[in-house]
Structure 1
Amino acid sequence: MAAKNALNITRQVKPLVSSTPLDARIRVLSLYKAWYRHIPYMVKDFDIPPSVNECRDVLRRNFKKNAHVKDIRVIDMLVIKGQQDLKEVVNHWKQPNHIMAKWFSDEYIEERPKDFISKFLSGHE
């Protein structure tokens, strides 16, 4: 009896935005296109070191990283987060260091000096 009630509860869960997988796919592709179109402006406005092509490669990798997700609710959640990030970048609510940390975690960050002389000469400690 308890298992029957559990099945009814899971069936009552409604999708966040998309009602079908095709609808979710359309939302994902429109988010990808919006990011793809805004990348040249982002690179110019924030004056970040990577080129437009490098940023587009990172965008493609980030979307392919989540390509295995099939649950419509999870897809909707990821799309909403992506739209929020895009809005923050478009409205300049993010700073260049936020963009670099999220997109290029270790590629462009300079390694800190380890020995005493290097720390002293670079002004650390």
Structure 2
Amino acid sequence: MTTIPARLAQSTQVSKSLEEARKRATALYRDYYRSAPEICSLYALDVPPSVMRAKIRSKFEQNRHIQDLAVLDLLLLKGRQEYQETMNVWKQVPQLMKWFAEEEAPPKPEGFLQKFYASRDEGRAGV
């Protein structure tokens, strides 16, 4: 497949209202959602499209509460850039798998002693 850099490029937009920003966010979400099977096949991921779609939804849900138009426009710009880079295969597999890293990470220690032992064990890993 030939990479066409301008294939998914869009000009920068400034939202005039929250409704307009919501429509742009919905369009971006739909683009990602429809492309999940293609992303999995382009990068030969051992993740089914349903899991990819669930991860995409959770990423969008994290920013659902934001009401500032400037922040929303910036997030939409970055999201659109990520989409273009992903679909043009300008990323590597580890960059995509980073989306799933937080689920595979061990739980963070909570108490003082657990944090102490965890930091001590990290120091011994290099020995």
TM-score, with structure 1 as normaliser: 0.71
Q: Which residue of 1 aligns with 2:116?
A: none
Give the 4+ runs in structure 1 shifted more than 2 A.
106-109
Q: Which residue of 2 aligns with 1:74?
A: 71
Q: Which residue of 2 aligns with 1:27?
A: 24
Q: Which residue of 2 aligns with 1:53?
A: 50
User: Aligned equivalents of 2:102 and 2:65: distance in 1?
Assistant: 25
TM-aligned CA deviation for residue 108 of structure 1: 5.5
Spell out, residue by residue over 1:85-114, the C-alpha distance to the aligned partner (whole angstroms, 9 max, x if none): 00001111001111001x1114468xxxx9
Task: Report the AA paired with residue 20 of structure 1.
Answer: S
Are 1:104 and 2:104 counterparts?
no
TM-aligned CA deviation for residue 29 of structure 1: 0.2
User: Aligned equivalents of 2:102 and 2:61: distance in 1?
Assistant: 19
SS in 2 for 1:19: coil
User: Aligned equivalents of 2:89 and 2:97: distance in 1?
Assistant: 14
User: Aligned equivalents of 1:43 and 1:31: distance in 2?
Assistant: 18
Are 1:92 and 2:92 counterparts?
no
User: Aligned equivalents of 2:66 and 2:39: distance in 1?
Assistant: 28
Spell out, residue by residue over 1:10-66, the C-alpha distance to the aligned partner (whole angstroms, 9 max, x if none): xxxxxx610111110010000000101111100011011211000101111111111
Backbone CA RMSD of aligned residues: 1.9
User: Aligned equivalents of 1:105 and 1:80: distance in 2?
Assistant: 24
Spell out, residue by residue over 1:55-84, the C-alpha distance to the aligned partner (whole angstroms, 9 max, x if none): 101111111111110001101100100000
Larger-gyration structure (1/2): 1
Instruction: Mark the runs of 5 or more structure 1 residues left unpaired by the alignment.
Output: 1-15, 115-124
% of aligned pairs identical? 33
User: Aligned equivalents of 2:19 and 2:75: distance in 1?
Assistant: 16
Q: How many residues were matched structurally? A: 96
User: Aligned equivalents of 2:102 and 2:60: distance in 1?
Assistant: 19
SS in 1 for 2:101: coil
